Amino acid sequence: MTSALEGLARVAFDARGRGVLDGVRVLDLSRLVAGNMLTLQLADFGADVIKVEPAAEGDTLRQWGQPHPDHPDGFDGWWQVYARNKRSLALNLRSPDAIALLRRLCATADVLVESFRPGTLEAMGLDPQQLLGENAHLIIVRLSGWGQTGPYKDYPGFGSLIEGFSGYALKGSDGDGRPVLPGIALADMVAGMTGAFAVMTALREVEVNKGRGQVIDLSLLEPMLAVMGPDVTNYAHTGVTTRPGVKIASPRGVYRCADGQWVAMSGSTDAMARKVFQAIGKAGLYEDERYRSNAARLAHDEEIDAMVQAFIGRMDLDACLAHFRGHGVTVGPVYDAAGVYRDAHVRGRGVYVAASDDLHDERAVAMHAVVPRFSETPGTLRRRAPAHAEHTRDILTDLGLSQAEIQDLHEQGHIRCR
């Protein structure tokens, strides 16, 4: 293992691992982040996720590599993490023969996930109602930017548009009014997690309630709006729009230490605000009506912020954390990826592991362990992220095709095999 991975728990992928979703088959036709996040949750807990990729180039997520001296095309961290525990099937989805194979697979599946523009699945000859007629228990997740209905349904809908549309970009502005997009695929990740919950809910309807399969219309927009707080509700009832950068509690914010490092602090309850005042040597402030309630403190937030910053600005990060934690204040460091990776709590809890095909493989990849943590039936790391088309032969063999048939389809360009 390279020195950069020293200290991480070693984990070997084990195809024999079993999770609570063992026996659930998922066909993942999605591209990029949201669909891959959704199916990662299912795969980590045992589902057989078949990643259906274009025969020519594979999932676009494969191309999101980061510069790396040992990888001319970039280190494909996105793919290594979000495609783990999945199998790769490469089909030419413009080929009627490949579509016929996919239709046969749908009859064997429990879940189908797609992220095409609305109407594309129907144009491919895979109308959801027809698929449900052939497999009454199939759950079909239709993931799109704006949803399957509405005036915007045919518009492209990448996460950046949704983060702007939802109000998130404005809420993240630093006071100058310029919207700030998040540095992560936030809307996609939120939709992916929501979609995994939706699948599990629909599976319960099929398996426990003996109901039918169904279509889940999952937009990137609505899950993002659901986590944005009550701004729209408040506007509907008061006519007031929350200004960008407005806080929900005081004292609350990020503060710069003497060594240039930053801390985040939150005094979101009266009791915690009191502890902050005590920690900065101004315990008497809490007895002042101007600082006694959260509403009062918000009205004087600039003054409070200045006092907290002046106190923190005299200490380096470690001294600051020790001081405020000693007073029971909710405070923590503001990290970049390097800070997270080195942090003692992250290491001690095993948040990241070094995963490889066997414990002696030097090509281990650092990745987050399965979340959340189950006491009795934890998720497992069964497979590394697949090479493009790695499992095409195996999957089609299980479907009943002969090796000669598979080879013929490969040579004609309907599928791709390794």
Instruction: Give, in degrees to the nearest 5, the angle at Cα 6 between 3 and 8.
Output: 145
Name the active-site residue from 188, 301, 316, 343. 188
CA 251 vs CA 1, 303, 305, 329, 335: distances in Å: 45, 10, 7, 11, 20
Question: Nearest to residue 206, comparing CAs of 143, 140, 126?
Answer: 140
CA gap 25, 137 in Å, rounded: 12
Q: How many CA atoms lie within 13 A of 350 on its CB side?
A: 11
Supply the Cα-derived Rg of the chain in whole angstroms. Answer: 25
**Pair type for strands 86-91 and 415-416:** antiparallel
| 188 given a catalytic annotation | yes
Helices (H), 152-215: 159-165, 168-171, 186-207
CA gap 278, 287 in Å, rounded: 12
Q: How many CA atoms lie within 13 A of 68 on its CB side?
A: 11
Cβ atoms of 37 and 184 closer than 8 Å: no
Catalytic residues: 188
